Amino acid sequence: MQRLSGLDASFLYLETPSQVMNVAAIVEVDPSTIPGGYTFNSLRLEMERRVRGLPMLRRRLADSLTNVDHPVWVEDEDFDIERHVHRIAVPAPGGIEEMAALCGHLVAQVMDRKKPLWDLWVLEGLSEGAIALVLRMHHACVDGATVAEILGELATSTPEPPALDAARVKESAGGASRPGMAFGGAVNFFVQRPIAAMKLIPKTLPVPFEWFKRVRSGDGMPAPFLAPRTRFNGPLTPRRNLAFARLPLGDVKRVKDHFGVKVNDVVLAMAGGALREYLQTRGELPEEPLVGLVPVSVRGVTEDDLIETGTNKVTGMFTRLPTSVADPVERIRLAGKYARQAKGHHQGIDANLLRAYAEFAPGNTLGALMRLYSDRRLSGLHPPIFNAVISNVAGPDYPMYLLGARVKAVYPMGPIFHGLGLNITVMSVDGELNVGLLSCPDLSPDLWDLVRGFGTQLEELVAAVEADANGDSSDDGPSDTGRQSE
């Protein structure tokens, strides 16, 4: 028995039919590289074999009315691969837009909590003989880093199937008795939680005062609920839409090196420019900068002994986006400046503060409040906390194979929330930067226009680099952001 941390469990409590807490990885692959050729049955059998070495994919939720604390994970003794691996055909002509539409339908579906919270959909019928693998997992059991780890376990550097780790095959979440679940939950809830609350108070008191001080000086993260309202900051419906793009990673690194910033700063600059162009074209561009939430992993950070270990080890950093600046060169410089300010502020806050407070998440109460918030469309009645989630995941810079099939592109996707209806995730794999956008079509039906803006922004930045190299610019060198490592 492994009890969920408060942050893990919060994603269960926050879920509603219109706010589905699924995380997904959409992987385009070439099935011609699979040893022995591709068939759905053989791929499913190989996935069944691999799951034996991935204990996380064999556990399911357990709970009871007598448990006052968060649910627990137990081993699924009735695991059946046929309940998890499915196939479906992409509508003709099988292009990327048809694939994205089908993926949008899949990620919008609520998962069955009576079995391990994941499934794999094999999308057949893509153009040029390709297939796509859509790995869906509930956010309660993974964060972005965990998804990357699972993909790393399933992926190999050669098409041949790897041997399984015998130790991991033997790992088990174990079982759970109702008395044991209830007793452990009661100890946590009535003994450890009050102690944790007393420890948290002195850590928390300075945070709002320091934040207010930094906001006034303009040297830090923007405060929550001060972001300008955009079309993405409204109530969600159960529908989802996706859009994808692939950009040359070499061009991104060339821009990074020239302007002396990080890859993440280039991503933020492209996101700011694409959002500016998208909203300005529609007459909806706010005067003040938009605000992005950048997920930050806290793996490796010393944990409070009163925090359940859990799977989600992440916090968030607010940063302004350079949407108020027309010049692409100035945008990338401003993106670097905003990111440095946000990082400096964020590093001064206890990395485990969010996870510590999540331990107090009241399951039934929070779930009821979330349903009320959703049903009454209350997210449209208060200022946005932020405007978009922007996540940058570094993948392997070499060819890899997933279940024997050569990987062509990977688009990881996180959830969206009421009032926070845009998720931008980029992942670098084998010399390309894959850009994936997730939103709600009732907020943004033309999401492809926004994702195409990333390519436009990169072209403008590369043109600026070439102009400098040819002596056509008045810029005398790298920006004042200073040289930083990638």
Catalytic residue list: 139
CA–CA separation, 52 and 312 (whole Å): 22
3-state secondary structure of 359: coil
**Which residue(s) pair with 26 in the sheet?**
134, 411
Q: 24 burial class (0-12, 13-18, 19+ CB within 10 angstroms)?
A: buried
100-137: b or e for each residue (b if 16 or more CB lie within 10 Å)?
bbbbbebbbeebeeebbbbbbbbbbbbeeebbbbbbbb
Cβ–Cβ under 8 Å, residues 356 and 304: yes
Residue 51: in which H helix or E strand, if any? helix 40-51
Structure token pair of residue 407: 């990987």
- How many CA atoms are closer than 13 Å to the CA of 339, on its beta-carbon side? 24
CA–CA separation, 24 and 29 (whole Å): 16
CA–CA separation, 479 and 461 (whole Å): 13
CA–CA separation, 373 and 197 (whole Å): 26
Cβ–Cβ under 8 Å, residues 453 and 277: yes
Structure token pair of residue 276: 């500016």
Q: Which amino acid is at 322?
A: P
Cβ–Cβ under 8 Å, residues 314 and 297: yes
CA–CA separation, 428 and 243 (whole Å): 17
Q: What residues contact residue 365 under an 8 Å CB cut-off, 6+ apart?
A: none
Closest alpha carbon to 84 in 105, 55, 50, 57: 57
Cβ–Cβ under 8 Å, residues 479 and 332: yes
**What DSSP designation does 191 have?**
I
Interstrand relation of 388-394 and 291-297 (parallel, antiparallel or unpaired): parallel
**What DSSP designation does 460 have?**
H
Residue 388: in which H helix or E strand, if any? strand 388-394
Structure token pair of residue 291: 């605000």
Structure token pair of residue 393: 């995941």
DSSP string over 189-248 = IIIIHHHHHHHHHHHHTHHHHHHHHHHHHT-SPPPTT-SPP-TTSS---S--EEEEEEEE
Q: What residues contact residue 470 under an 8 Å CB cut-off, 6+ apart?
A: none
Which residue is it, tokens 């390709």?
A: 130
